[in-house]
Amino acid sequence: MKTRDKILLKSLELFNELGERKVTTNHIAAGLGISPGNLYYHFRNKEEIIFELFCRYEQQTLGLLMAPEDRPLTYADKIGYFEGILGNMWDYRFLHRDLEHLMADNLPLQERYRLFALQVMGQGQRIYQRLAESGLIEARADEVTALILNIWIIVTSWIPFLLTSGMFGQEAAINRDLVKRGIYQILLLEAPYLRGEALDKLPEMKARYGGVAEPAPAQKSA
């Protein structure tokens, strides 16, 4: 593996584990057993590393949202989109946790992310149009637009919510199951529009994803 790729993988590992703000280029270099000068040969600063990691996240996410043109979309495709996107969220969770901070000082990232958001929502609308053609959902165009926007809000804010709300008893750490609990929230958004096999299997899907984490009981005031 090339040194550049090793730097990106180690950076992703440290950013996910510790949070981007706590990781310096010296930490990354030390984690790899290379000199800071060697790291700077490949990346001038941490912002360049973050931008490159986002580009990889962007490429993987947009690739996951491609709809096949040679056949109708199926229920399995629908679940595959959810699993893929939320799996990708877990792999790059530092981006969701620290996004506002990351974008504040990185103009190229700001511009790239805003274009990415439009692309994702556009591809999402196309997927739901194809699901409608397959008889798996029934919704007006304006309802699909609203649904996509609400799904985007859940996907992009779910990790900060987990870290700040204490809803699932997690104050400082998250795990993959908690991230996947976001699928349950999306299922509830979709429920009024589901038809056919998607509607038939809704109880099964709610049980699968709603059971991975239960909200912590409310604390009684003294």
220 lies in some domain: no
How many angstroms separate the CA atoms of 122 and 116, rounded? 10
Residues 172 and 66 grouped into a single domain: yes
151 lies in some domain: yes
pLDDT bin (cut points 50, 70, 90) of residue 221 is very low
> 179 or 48: whose pLDDT is higher?
48
Residues 56 and 35 grouped into a single domain: no
Model confidence, pTM: 0.87
Q: Which two tokens stand for residue 137?
A: 């959902």
31 lies in some domain: yes
pLDDT for residue 217: 52
CATH of the domain at 17: 1.10.10.60
Does pLDDT of 210 surpass 60?
yes
Does pLDDT of 212 surpass 70?
no
pLDDT tens readout for residues 103-141: 887 899 999 999 999 999 999 999 999 999 999 999 999
219 lies in some domain: no
> 209 or 55: whose pLDDT is higher?
55
Least confident of 32-41, 93-102, 193-202: 93-102
Contacts of 127 (CB under 8 A, 6+ apart): 65, 67, 73, 81
Residues 31 and 54 grouped into a single domain: no
pLDDT bin (cut points 50, 70, 90) of residue 211 is low
Render the burial of 89-110: b for 16+ CB within 10 Å, e for the rest.
bbbbbbbbbbbeebbeebeebe
Residues 32 and 133 grouped into a single domain: no
Does pLDDT of 214 surpass 90?
no
Q: Which two tokens stand for residue 34?
A: 């290379």
pLDDT for residue 171: 52
126 lies in some domain: yes
Residues 32 and 99 grouped into a single domain: no
Q: Which two tokens stand for residue 13?
A: 């590992």
DSSP characters over 102-142: HHHT-HHHHHHHHHHHHHHHHHHHHHHHHHHHTTSB---HH
Q: Residues 86, 186: contact at Cβ < 8 Å?
A: no
Residues 58 and 18 grouped into a single domain: no
Contacts of 28 (CB under 8 A, 6+ apart): 7, 10, 11, 14, 39, 49
215 lies in some domain: no
Q: What percent of the chain has pLDDT over 90?
A: 62
218 lies in some domain: no
pLDDT for residue 94: 93
216 lies in some domain: no
Residues 38 and 52 grouped into a single domain: no
Residues 87 and 111 grouped into a single domain: yes
Q: Residues 134, 74: contact at Cβ < 8 Å?
A: yes
Residues 14 and 26 grouped into a single domain: yes
- Domains: count for the chain: 2
Residues 92 and 11 grouped into a single domain: no
pLDDT for residue 166: 75
The domain in which residue 74 lies consists of 46-210
pLDDT for residue 14: 96
